[in-house]
């Protein structure tokens, strides 16, 4: 096995990386958000939320592709922010990224566990709200147990989970296309395209749809474990977005082409409702089992990538030392995995919509908008950096992605924005205490990140 410069094994190829990305992207996503986005946008015009969300993901994917190919390392964004901003603000930006993701990333994973638990309740309809939450916690514990092994074994498991996910979406899409009723699918309400209503709803719809696309960058978090990252990462990022965009749009259209959208928006188990209308109870049972499988695939691959984030920061001396520990036998960040898993378990007790809005607000400014700036900074300060892939039509995609993320951030709502601002301010204060104790920037001007 090829070793990276940090002692990790490069054993994830293109197929495995695509499977990891798509499993994280698909997961619970459309199976829990179709009713939410229909409610948010007020009808079938929700399809435009999916389309515009996909365009934003593609634009942002070009940013990830250049940075991931040029700076392949565990932690993805952490590495990009560290290298770009060390000249002016020391370790502040990578610290704030880890500070935000230590909460936001387990939040993302918890939505998959909650979605799985909600579908699990189909078989036990008398489960209480708190019992559903405990099922989500049990899913988290099982995920940690299956991830507690060598990365090569994890890649194989990811392929198996991905295959189940593909079977699920093909069944949903195939059934939708063969029973599609355009009169239901395009039953737009009278005010669907009224400018004020449409664009207000579009922002909120993009917030939901872009949540469904999150994960196209998971392979970037595993840069030290990807084979030939300069070629592999750009390809799998773009391919993952395109495939999932087609799948999500076809699935969304297929569902409302069978289930009237006013009924679909009230459903808590849209997959079972959809299949039940066509195939009855046997169809509802089969699709529910497959959706549970798909949700678990998302949780599994997401926690895999999340555990690598604080590991790399701790290895650089920018986070708690315990996170830098590798398992002595299997060589993976075991402490980071356990702690991130514990935070994820706690997040399972919160409301789903609240989690989605909060996590998007938390990560947009520091991570997505921050690394767009990072790409520009690196182009200017490090022109000789080896770049196996360069962003097409630079800087136009970066500018459009930056505007798009700003629009989504504004649409997340003031409560979510307030949470993001407060958490960031606390992070800055914690960083200043850390920097003072370690004699780092801004208390030692000119000192750069290693």
- Exposure of 357 by Cβ count < 10 A (0-12 exposed, 13-18 middle, 19+ buried)? buried
Identify each DSSP E strand in 214-278 by its residue range. none
For position 414, what pLDDT does the model report?
85
Alpha-carbon distance values, 44 to 248, 267, 332 (Å): 14, 15, 45
- The answer to whether residue 446 scores a pLDDT higher than 70 is no
pLDDT for 313-352, tens place per residue?
Answer: 788 777 778 888 888 887 888 888 898 899 999 989 887 7
Q: Full-prediction pTM beyond 0.85?
A: no
Tell whether 65 is covered by a domain.
yes
Hey, CA dihedral for 189, 43, 353, 221, is it positive or negative?
negative
Q: How many domains is the chain partitioned into structurally?
A: 1
Query: Of 265, 250, 294, 279, whose CA–CA distance to 116 is shortest?
Result: 294
CATH number of the structural domain spanning residue 29:
1.20.1740.10
> Which uninterrupted H or E stretch holds 107?
helix 92-120
* pLDDT tens track for 76-108: 888 899 999 988 888 899 889 888 888 887 888
Task: Return the DSSP state at 11.
Answer: -
Determine which of 72-81, 286-295, 430-439 has the lowest per-residue pLDDT on average.
Answer: 72-81
Residue 3 domain-assigned?
Answer: no
Distance CA 103, CA 113 (A): 16
Does residue 160 belong to any structural domain of this protein? yes
Note the pLDDT of residue 84: 92
Report the chain's mean pLDDT, rounded to a whole number: 86
Going by pLDDT thresholds of 50, 70 and 90, the confidence category of residue 146 is confident
pLDDT tens, residue by residue, 2-53: 555 555 667 788 888 888 888 777 766 777 888 888 888 888 998 888 899 9
**What is the average per-residue pLDDT within 122-149?**
90
- On whether the CB atoms of residues 154 and 169 are closer than 8 A, the answer is no
Confidence at 394, pLDDT banded by 50, 70, 90: very high
Q: Is 74 helix (H, G, I), strand (E, B) or coil?
A: strand
- Within-domain flag for 308: yes
Q: Which comes out higher in pLDDT, residue 207 or 155?
A: 207
Range of the domain at 403: 12-437
Residue 20: what pLDDT?
A: 81
Which of 180-189, 277-286, 299-308 bottoms out in mean pLDDT, i.e. has the lowest? 299-308
In a domain, 447, yes or no: no
SS3 state at 226: strand
Residue 272 placed within a domain? yes
Give domain status of residue 311, yes or no: yes
The verdict on residue 446 lying in a domain is no
Task: Write down the pLDDT at residue 450.
Answer: 47
Q: Whose structure tokens read 């699990």?
A: 120
Q: Which residues, 6 or more positions from 326, have their beta carbon under 8 angstroms from its beta carbon?
A: 7, 332, 333, 334
Asked whether 63 and 371 are in contact (CB, 8 A), the reply is yes
- Nearest Cα to 373, choosing from 65, 72, 80? 80
Total residues belonging to the chain: 450
Confidence of residue 395 (pLDDT cuts 50, 70, 90): very high
Q: With 70 as the cut, is the pLDDT of residue 242 above it? A: yes
pLDDT average, residue stretch 393-412: 92
């Amino acid at each position: 096995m090829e070793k990276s410069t940090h002692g990790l094994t490069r054993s994830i190829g293109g197929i495995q990386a695509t499977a990891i990305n798509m499993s994280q992207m698909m997961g619970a996503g459309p199976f829990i958000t179709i009713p939410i986005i229909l409610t948010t946008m007020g009808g079938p015009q929700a399809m435009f939320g999916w389309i515009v969300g996909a365009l934003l993901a593609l634009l942002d994917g070009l940013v990830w592709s250049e940075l991931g190919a040029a700076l392949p390392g565990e932690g993805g964004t952490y590495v990009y922010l560290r290298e770009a901003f060390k000249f002016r603000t020391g370790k502040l930006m990578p610290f704030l990224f880890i500070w935000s993701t230590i909460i936001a990333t387990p939040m993302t994973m918890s939505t998959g566990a909650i979605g799985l638990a909600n579908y699990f309740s189909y078989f036990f309809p008398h489960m209480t709200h708190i019992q559903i939450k405990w099922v989500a916690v049990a899913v988290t514990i099982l995920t940690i147990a299956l991830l507690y092994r060598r990365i090569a074994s994890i890649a194989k498991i990811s392929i198996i989970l991905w295959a189940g996910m593909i079977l699920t979406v093909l069944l949903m899409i195939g059934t939708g296309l063969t029973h599609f009723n355009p009169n239901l699918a395009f039953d737009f309400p009278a005010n669907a395209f009224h400018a004020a209503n449409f664009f207000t709803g579009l922002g909120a719809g993009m917030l939901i749809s872009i949540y469904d696309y999150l994960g196209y960058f998971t392979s970037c978090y595993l840069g030290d474990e990807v084979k030939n990252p300069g070629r592999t990462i750009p390809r799998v990022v773009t391919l993952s977005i395109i495939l999932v965009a087609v799948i999500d749009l076809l699935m969304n259209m297929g569902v409302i082409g069978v289930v009237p959208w006013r009924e679909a928006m009230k459903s808590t188990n849209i997959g079972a409702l959809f299949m039940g209308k066509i195939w009855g109870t046997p169809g509802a049972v089969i699709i529910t089992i497959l959706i549970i499988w798909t949700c678990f695939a998302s949780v599994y691959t997401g926690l895999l990538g999340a555990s690598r984030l604080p590991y790399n920061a701790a290895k650089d001396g920018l986070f708690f030392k315990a996170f830098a520990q590798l398992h002595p036998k299997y060589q993976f960040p075991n402490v980071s995995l356990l702690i991130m898993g514990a935070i994820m378990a706690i997040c399972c007790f919160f409301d789903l919509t609240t989690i989605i809005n909060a996590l998007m607000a938390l990560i947009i400014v520091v991570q997505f908008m921050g690394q767009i700036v990072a790409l520009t900074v690196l182009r200017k300060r490090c022109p000789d950096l080896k770049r196996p892939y360069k962003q097409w039509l630079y800087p136009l995609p970066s500018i459009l992605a930056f505007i798009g993320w700003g629009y989504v951030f504004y649409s997340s709502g003031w409560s979510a924005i307030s949470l993001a601002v407060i958490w960031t301010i606390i992070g800055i204060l914690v960083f200043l205490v850390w920097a003072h104790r370690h004699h780092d920037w801004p208390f030692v001007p000119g000192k750069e990140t290693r």
